[in-house]
Amino acid sequence: MANRYSVVDLFCGIGGLSHGFRQEKFKVIAGIDIDKSCQYPFERNNQSKFYHEDLSLLPSDFVNNLFPCDTIRILVGCAPCQAFSTYSQKYKDNNKWKMLYTFGRIIGETEPEIVSMENVPNLKNYNDGKVLNDFLEVLKKNKYHVNWKIVDSSQYGVPQTRKRLILLASKFRKIDFVKPTYIHRKVTVREVIGHLPEIEDGETHPSDLLHRARKLSPMNKRRITATPHGGGWKDWPEELILECHKKETGKSFGSVYGRMIWEDLAPTMTTQCTGLGNGRFGHPEQDRAISLREAALFQTFPEDYELFDPSTEMSTPKLEMHIGNAVPVKLGRVIAKSIRKHLKQHACHS
């Protein structure tokens, strides 16, 4: 199969989606991303070539020429999704949604046999659904069979409350999603990070440079200490509560400064997931926010996945952004499994 099918990953980041395909024995030919700092982890872990390019300026022939001759071409990607998130709806100058049109342009001009697109659920509502519908029109015009739905990642073993819009398209027939395997139980916080050694805020474990937690201010240290397991700022004494949370508009943000629950899912990992005040990112017991290692494990990266170049200085904000932006590896594997099953059924004689 590795010689028959080839994958190119657009907006590849550090390679979460590609690694899912690699685990399913697909040959990932290349990844393309505008962020050059993604090159080391992508290439190191996926035995694939990284191209530092702005896809909005890249000719489609460049992408098409990456595919070896006589292979079934699989084009996958997660266009930057900040424009579609609920958080960014207030920003009128956010033009990142245009990258989905870039994705559509490349599909229309190269017509790979298989396409997969992953994004946030709110894409279906953004601009009254126009952006998604325009993307679907490109696929329809080029005679793809399309299947898309909102997927609960936790039903496939991703230990987060993470829902994503997944689209699969084929020149052969409709691609069916593989059935969820974790409907009756979820992978819990304890299962994922319970084995890691304890660290303090501001500390890096000597045997694992990624097991590093942000240093808390004295006030935030008091706040996390006052937060019970599964609790949040509503459990604090009055003198610790922020003024914004005392207002009516701030009372709905109950998860910020919260602790995770051992026997529950983690929240969705974001690009600020190691910051205590950015969501329910407090460790269930230790008085700190989660470490980079813990965030990577919640994104289902293997512990031996090399996330940074050891010859360079490690940047916590950059790594946090890379981890939060990634497609969870297990979700990438679900996409790859669905495509593999489809190809065995419908492309074996093509």
Domain segments of the chain: what residues? 5-182+328-346, 189-325
In percent, the amount of the chain with pLDDT more than 70 equals 91
Q: Residue 347: its pLDDT value, please?
A: 73
Which of 139-148, 279-288, 309-318 shows the lowest per-residue confidence on average (mean pLDDT)?
Answer: 309-318
Q: Which CATH number fits domain 5-182+328-346: 3.30.465.10, 3.40.50.920, 3.40.50.150, 3.40.50.300?
A: 3.40.50.150
* In the predicted structure, residue 55 carries a pLDDT above the cut 50: yes
To the question of domain 189-325 being in CATH 3.30.1280.10, the answer is: no
Question: In a 3-state reduction of DSSP, which class is residue 152?
Answer: strand
Taking the C-alpha atoms of residue 320 and residue 214, their distance in angstroms, rounded to an integer, is: 11
Residue 27: its H or E element: strand 27-33
Taking the C-alpha atoms of residue 232 and residue 257, their distance in angstroms, rounded to an integer, is: 6
- 81 counts as catalytic: yes
One-letter amino acid identity for 312?
Answer: T
- CB neighbour class for 15 (10 Å; exposed up to 12, middle 13-18, buried from 19): buried
Q: Residue 125: its pLDDT value, please?
A: 85
pLDDT band at 93; cut points 50, 70, 90: very low
* In the predicted structure, residue 198 carries a pLDDT above the cut 70: yes
Question: Within its chain, how far is the Cα of 295 from the centroid?
Answer: 11
Average pLDDT over residues 257-269: 97
Taking the C-alpha atoms of residue 223 and residue 90, their distance in angstroms, rounded to an integer, is: 30
**Phi, psi dihedral angles at 224 (to 5 degrees):** -70, -35
Which position has the higher pLDDT, 117 or 350? 117
Mean of all residue pLDDT scores within the chain:
91
Q: In angstroms, what CA-CA distances link 42 with 9, 68, 278, 305? A: 11, 20, 27, 10
pLDDT band at 91; cut points 50, 70, 90: very low
Taking the C-alpha atoms of residue 153 and residue 274, their distance in angstroms, rounded to an integer, is: 21
User: Please, which residues have CB within 8 angstroms of residue 42's CB and are 6 or more apart in sequence?
Assistant: 12, 13, 14, 15, 18, 31, 33, 48, 50
Structure tokens at 161: 């409350």
> Which one from 81, 244, 273, 348 is the annotated catalytic residue?
81
Q: Residue 127: its pLDDT value, please?
A: 76
Of 264, 56, 248, 78, nearest to 164 (Cα)? Answer: 78
Average pLDDT over residues 55-81: 94
Taking the C-alpha atoms of residue 136 and residue 130, their distance in angstroms, rounded to an integer, is: 10
Beta-strand ranges (E) seen in the chain are 5-10, 27-33, 49-52, 72-77, 114-119, 145-152, 163-170, 204-205, 208-212
Which of 87-96, 158-167, 187-196, 252-261 shows the lowest per-residue confidence on average (mean pLDDT)?
Answer: 87-96
